[in-house]
């Protein structure tokens, strides 16, 4: 008689197996193992015998293949890190703000984090992108509020 899915799951749990480790050990895909566990009507009888005779997981060495290693999901709502927002050399231009004359261009000279305060080090550059002044500090909030990035990639 075919094992019920609940019986197979109880056997796997009792013997310490995860679906991914068993799939890797049997050299099948995790999806196929899931089908064999959950669909008795599609399961060949040899799988019932294999589940019944399964050794404890602690007695078996399992080497996962690439297909058995789950990749972390890509976050669609990923926020930019401080370093991504203000990499060294990124060019900014002032537009309609109170920090300086409109059209003044700055380049990021570096960043610094002091506790919970994020600071961007900026330098004024001329039309040929040559540095004109010593670096000055701008808070991350001021930089985001008052500077328009000329080369930002919105697909990040």
| Three-state DSSP class for residue 73 | coil
What pLDDT does 49 receive? 92
Mean pLDDT of 81-105: 74
Residues 6+ apart with CB under 8 A from 118: 82, 111, 112, 139, 140
pLDDT of residue 154: 36
What is the pLDDT averaged over residues 90-99?
Answer: 70
* pLDDT one-digit tens code per residue, 95-148: 665 656 777 788 888 888 888 888 888 888 887 777 877 888 888 777 766 555
Residue 40 has pLDDT above 60, yes or no: yes
């Amino acid at each position: 008689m075919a094992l019920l899915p609940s019986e197979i799951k109880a056997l796997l749990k009792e013997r310490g197996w995860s679906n991914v480790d068993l799939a890797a050990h049997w050299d099948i895909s995790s999806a196929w193992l899931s089908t064999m566990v959950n669909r008795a009507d599609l399961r060949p009888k040899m799988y019932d015998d294999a589940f019944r005779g399964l050794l404890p997981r602690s007695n078996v060495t399992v080497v996962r293949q690439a297909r058995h290693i789950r990749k972390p999901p890509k976050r669609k709502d990923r926020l930019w890190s401080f370093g991504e927002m203000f990499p060294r050399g990124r060019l900014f231009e002032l537009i309609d703000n109170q920090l300086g004359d409109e059209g003044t261009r700055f380049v990021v000279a570096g960043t610094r984090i002091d506790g919970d305060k994020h600071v961007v080090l900026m330098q004024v550059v001329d039309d040929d992108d040559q540095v004109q002044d010593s670096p000055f500090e701008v808070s991350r909030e001021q930089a985001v509020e008052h500077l328009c990035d000329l080369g930002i990639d919105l697909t990040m």
